[in-house]
Structure 1
Amino acid sequence: MPLLDVKIRAALWVLGAALAFSLLYASGKLTGGLVPAIQIVFIRYVSGFATVGGIAVVRRIPPRSILNTGRRHLHFVRALCGVGGGACSIYGATHMPLADASALALLQGVFVMALAVLLLRERVSMMQVLAAALCLAGAVVIVRGNAPEAAAGFSFPIGIAPLAVIAGAFLTACEVILIKVLSRHESMLSMLLHVNGFAALLLVLPMLMLWQPAPAWELAALCLLGPMAIAGQMCNVQAYRLADAAWLAPFGYSALVFAALIGWIGFGDLPTLATLLGAALIVAGGLLLIRR
């Protein structure tokens, strides 16, 4: 198969993953904000665990080969980061324009670089520092654009929703570092089964206390989030098997376009000048990081 055809297939896989994660990200807003973010995350991980278990059964993979691991503590910490990151991200995206939230979520790349330097002793170049500075400048522009106004006319420097999205990006970056460590020794199916299982168990007690009733059709729709998240991850795996990260990075930023379209069609949100400028800075910095 010609190299260009392979690259186009890889790009299509990335676009599929970006669409899946954009819908996952917008789930809180799509439910009208009536279902708590933590409840959405719980349903996502329970349905994700059922999906991975079903894949293992269909492939006739013995449970022992998936569950036999000496790094269960790392899977557990990864689940903690995933639960926190997912809840923060969905909460933030529910209470601010989706395009803004998706742009702030791209700070994950900066946090991954910083954690890789601190924890994995990876070296960083001056160009990577400049790229991180561009991303942070873009985040500041978007955050200032979302700063709430006090009743007395004073402007607060930052709102809760942008802070939640930034916290979600940091926790997701922690999860990425753990995935990097675990992927050297664990199969993808083992990693998916452990993270979904541990996350669901972590949320059982909070759900018993915080569960909010919702229409049956809405709960059924939320149960699609687990399979959607698994499909998104598998799309990314397929893409990066076919092409390099540097080629695929620009297509990954299509999540911004999908988020803007969902926000516009579903909620009438139009990107502001601050959003466009901030997103441009973050994307420019992110592309520099990928190229380095």
Structure 2
Amino acid sequence: MSPFRGIALKLCAVFLFTIMASLIKATSDLVPPGEAVFFRSFFAMPIIIGWLFLRGDLKTGLRVKRPMGHFWRGVIGVSAMGFGFASLGLLPLPEVTAIGYAAPMFTVLFAAVLLGERLRAFRLSAVGLGLVGVIVVMWPRLSLDQLDDVAMLGVACVLISAVLRALAQIHIRKLVATEETSAIVFFFSLTATSLSLLTIPFGWAWPGWFGFGLLAASGFVGGVAQIFLTSAYKHAEAALLAPFDYASILFAILFGYVFFAEVPTAMVLIGSGIVMAAGGLIIWRERQLGLKRGKARPGMTPQG
């Protein structure tokens, strides 16, 4: 384990994912979300296949035990990606990023309902605090004197994407019991590429060569980001790396200002801070519980 390398890889992944989102946002007026999903998935495939080949995991990545599990993970993940990409064309990048922080909160709730994980009062309180932060970010959009149909549609798209991303995480937790990580990564890209083609009847468009380049770049960047993210967890524990997800708001503010002239509002900054505090509390509590479980294990009987 090399914690500093893991942190560096995680920050690189978050940075690249924010670049990918910026590229998608830049082309939101040129192509519909379904077409953007295709480019993001298709052009990530060579990167992922090359990575699996170099690791010697290509055969493993092509071998699955639960093909329908991968299919449904793909359906959920592609839908989440589509709604997320749609929101980028409707809202400022920092706002999309901040509202998207609801996904980990939904994951905690779904884990309790669908996986039977114990939902302790501390964690439930932190989830509630996180959702309050998300509401703070959205509040200006909910004010009666500032109602904007386009913005409200954007908020709805981000929230739907967050719910679907949380469901995808629950599905992945089930898949990892029988499937290799390389298989999950490879077949998601394959499924996403295939399913996105079903949106052709809803109107695809030629984005021009410059737009084509941006969309292709989103795929390459997204593929590299996925590799960095996967590699990070080989060098450091998930509990250590989790807080660095929140670096995305800093990158989103930077890119939003530089490339789209978007200045985050005070409500976005305050709400983001609340969500980050809530996420930090959950991570800290889970780490404490993990340390206690680790200390208890040596004294356990074989039955636990």
CA distance in 2, matches of 1:271, 1:199: 32
AA at the equivalent of 2:23: S
* Larger proportion of helix: 2
Change (3 A) 1:70 1:104: same
Most deviating of 46-55 and 116-125 = 46-55
Cα offset, 1:154, TM superposition? 7.0
Query: In structure 2, the residue corresponding to 1:211 is in which secondary structure?
Result: coil
Superposition pairs of residues 10-159 of structure 1, within 5 angstroms: 10-31=6-27, 33-57=29-53, 63=59, 65-147=60-142, 155=147, 159=152
Residue 242 of structure 1 corresponds to which residue in structure 2?
235
CA distance in 2, matches of 1:54, 1:9: 22
**5+ unaligned residues in a row in structure 2: which ranges?**
286-304
Residue 290 of structure 2 corresponds to which residue in structure 1?
none
Residue 189 of structure 1 corresponds to which residue in structure 2?
182
Cα offset, 1:241, TM superposition? 2.4
Most deviating of 19-28 and 169-178 = 19-28
TM-score, with structure 2 as normaliser: 0.85
Cα offset, 1:22, TM superposition? 0.9
Contact 1:26 1:90 in 2 (8 A): no
Cα offset, 1:148, TM superposition? 7.3
Runs of 4+ displaced beyond 6 Å: none
CA distance in 1, matches of 2:101, 2:73: 19
Query: In structure 2, the residue corresponding to 1:207 is in which secondary structure?
Result: helix
AA at the equivalent of 1:239: A
Change (3 A) 1:20 1:62: closer
Deviation string, structure 1 residues 85-143 (Cα, Å, up to 9, x no partner): 11111111221111111011111111111111111111011111111111111111111
TM-score, with structure 1 as normaliser: 0.89
Deviation string, structure 1 residues 203-247 (Cα, Å, up to 9, x no partner): 223225521111123213312223322322222222222223333
Does residue 1:253 correspond to 2:249, yes or no? no
Cα offset, 1:58, TM superposition? 5.1
Cα offset, 1:262, TM superposition? 0.6
* Number of residue equivalences: 284
Q: Percent identity?
A: 26
Most deviating of 77-86 and 177-186 = 177-186
